Chains A and B, each alone.
Chain A
Amino acid sequence: MTAVVDVLGWLDAVKDPEIPVLSIIDLGIVRAVRQDEGQVTVVITPTYTGCPAMGVIAQDISDTLRAHGVNEARIEIALAPAWTTDWMTERGREALRAYGIAPPVAGTCGALPASVACPRCGSARTGLISRFGSTACKALYRCDDCREPFDHFKCH
């Protein structure tokens, strides 16, 4: 028998391929793990509909479970309720900041904050450069104090 808690622990080692410091647990996309008669089902929800990382993540989940002896894993994609950055863990937010990405600012979904604390120096004197970034989840800001550009993980 595979315990659900063990599966969640293993899944914590599966990282977002585009942001390798963020586990899929921290990202909040693992919505449920079920265990019925030897069959393990992992329910995940996509971040953005066109996000190319989702296919890789599904494959990584299967590979990880197989490495722990679970050969009968099923991955279920659930669209509702729609993923939100509110589901990102506190640990995930800190990992993003340490990696140089300003974490989501609650309450700014659908719009963008005028300024986001710089993940390098903490300055609030920052400004938007580009509403879209290198991946669907990010926007680009610049810091007027340390003069560095940085990514911001958008509220969604």
Chain B
Amino acid sequence: MSLFDHVLSLGDNALILGQQLSALTGHGPVLEEDIATANIALDLVGEARLWLSLAGEIEGAGRSEDDLAFLRDEIDFRNVLLVEQPNGDFADTMARQFLFDAWHEALLAALCASADPRIAGIAGKCRKEALYHLSHSAGWVIRLGDGTAFSHDRMQQAVRNLWPYTGELFEADAGGTALIGANAGDIRPLWRQRVADTLARAALEVPADRWMQGGGRRGIHSEHMGRLLAEMQHIPRSHPGARW
């Protein structure tokens, strides 16, 4: 992966998850969670703007953050498959968020040491927000997992269903350390520890590592991605240059 692809991947993860959470605005299970998902979505879209702007600058072809978000096709998106998995029920949404947050915060923390001040600057800024997201999603994994028999089963099922998408988070990218200052593979122990601790407090089992899905970072996405992009990109593609 080139530096452009790495930065694009950071932006696409935040963009796609932010888009997914935005779709819950007005549909949260309770008012407080409706506000929470909208706020987390806002943070993630804000983060995506920073990474995509930087990606455009690195590429040097004059593409803006908007061009990259709205005018690329599915095969050119570099996000991991985890973030494009459906919102499902609230357990699915929170399990996805927790598995992502535990990884996202650790990755941003590692990127703070990047030799590239632009990367370190964005990472340092966004890490503070990611830490708050993590405490929120971990709290829900624990409340639902250690709640009623019904909520426990739903959360356990959600974690089990999403587990095959966690392997891709750590796919080794040999050039990562040299290009951006961190290699996703190196943060696996911290992520494992966080997930094991929270799932233990939630009275949930850590699923066994079996077959892991992959491909998102190479542009090979799941069936959910096309519909998601169609909704996200529809206005700018149907009305190029539209403003309000």
Which chain A residues have a beta carbon within 8 Å of chain B's beta carbons?
46, 48-52, 78-83, 109-111, 129-134, 136, 140, 154, 156
**Contact A110 B131, CB 8 Å, known A79-B124, A131-B36:** yes
Cα separation A48 to B125 with both chains bound (whole Å)? 8
| B35 near A49: Cβ-Cβ < 8 Å | no
Known pairs A50-B42, A136-B42; list 14 more (Cβ under 8 Å). Answer: A46-B125, A48-B42, A50-B46, A52-B42, A78-B121, A79-B122, A79-B124, A80-B117, A80-B121, A82-B121, A109-B128, A130-B36, A131-B32, A132-B38
Nearest opposing residue in chain A for B30, CB measure: A130
Interface residue range, chain B: 20 to 34
With most chain A CB atoms within 10 A of its CB, the pick from B32, B127, B135, B136 is: B32
B89 contacts partner chain A, Cβ-Cβ < 8 Å: no
Q: Is the CB of A82 within 8 A of B47?
A: no
Is B45 on the interface with A (CB-CB < 8 A)?
yes
| A-B pairs with beta carbons under 8 Å apart, 27 shown | A46-B125, A49-B47, A49-B49, A49-B50, A49-B129, A50-B42, A50-B44, A50-B47, A50-B49, A51-B46, A79-B122, A79-B124, A80-B117, A80-B121, A80-B124, A82-B124, A82-B128, A83-B125, A110-B135, A111-B135, A131-B32, A131-B136, A132-B35, A136-B39, A136-B42, A140-B32, A156-B128
Are A48 and B46 in touch, CB under 8 angstroms? yes
Which residues in B have their C-beta under 8 angstroms from that of A140?
Answer: 32
Check B43 for interface membership: any CB of A closer than 8 A. yes
Q: Are B131 and A82 in contact (CB under 8 A)?
A: no
Q: Residue of B at shortest CB range from A154? A: B132
Q: Give the contacting residue for B45; candidates A46, A50, A81, A132; CB below 8 A.
A: A50
Contact among B43, B117, B124, B136 with A136 in the assembled complex (CB-CB below 8 Å): B43
Whether the Cβ atoms of A50 and B43 lie closer than 8 Å is yes
Is the contact region of chain A dominated by helix, strand, or loop, or is it mixed?
loop
When distances are taken between beta carbons in the complex, the residues of chain B under 8 Å from A80 are 117, 120-121, 124-125
Please give, as numbers and ranges, the residues of chain A lying within 8 Å of B47 by CB-CB distance.
Answer: 49-50
Determine how close the nearest CB of chain B comes to the CB of A87; give it in whole angstroms.
13
Cβ of B95 < 8 Å from any Cβ of A?
no
**Cβ–Cβ < 8 Å partners of A79 in chain B:** 50, 121-122, 124-125
A111 to B120, CA, bound (A): 23
Q: Which residues of A contact B125 (CB under 8 A)?
A: 46, 49, 79-80, 82-83
Smallest CB-CB A-B distances: 9 pairs: A50-B46, A49-B46, A50-B42, A80-B121, A79-B121, A130-B32, A132-B39, A132-B36, A110-B131
**Cβ–Cβ < 8 Å partners of A129 in chain B:** 32
Is B204 on the interface with A (CB-CB < 8 A)?
A: no
> With the chains together, A16 CA to B72 CA distance in Å?
35
A52 to B49, CA, bound (A): 12
Inter-chain CA distance A28–B44, complex, in Å, is: 23
B82 within 8 A of partner (CB): no
Is B126 close to A, CB under 8 A? yes
Choose among A49, A133, A136, A154 the residue that contacts B126 (Cβ–Cβ < 8 A): A49
Considering the complex, give the chain B residue whose CB is closest to the CB of A109. B128
> B128 to chain A: closest CB distance in Å?
6
Give, as a whole number of angstroms, the nearest-CB distance from A29 to chain B. 13
A132 to B46, CA, bound (A): 17
- Given A50-B46, A79-B122, A136-B43, CB of A110 within 8 Å of CB of B35: no
Q: List chain B residues, Cβ under 8 A from A52.
A: 42
Residue from A79, A140, A154 whose CB has the most chain B CB atoms within 10 Å: A79
A129→B47 CA distance, assembly (Å): 27
Q: Which residues of A contact B127 (CB under 8 A)?
A: 82
Which of chain B's residues have a CB closer than 8 A to the CB of A134? 35
Q: Give Cα A48–Cα B127 distance, bound, in whole angstroms.
A: 11
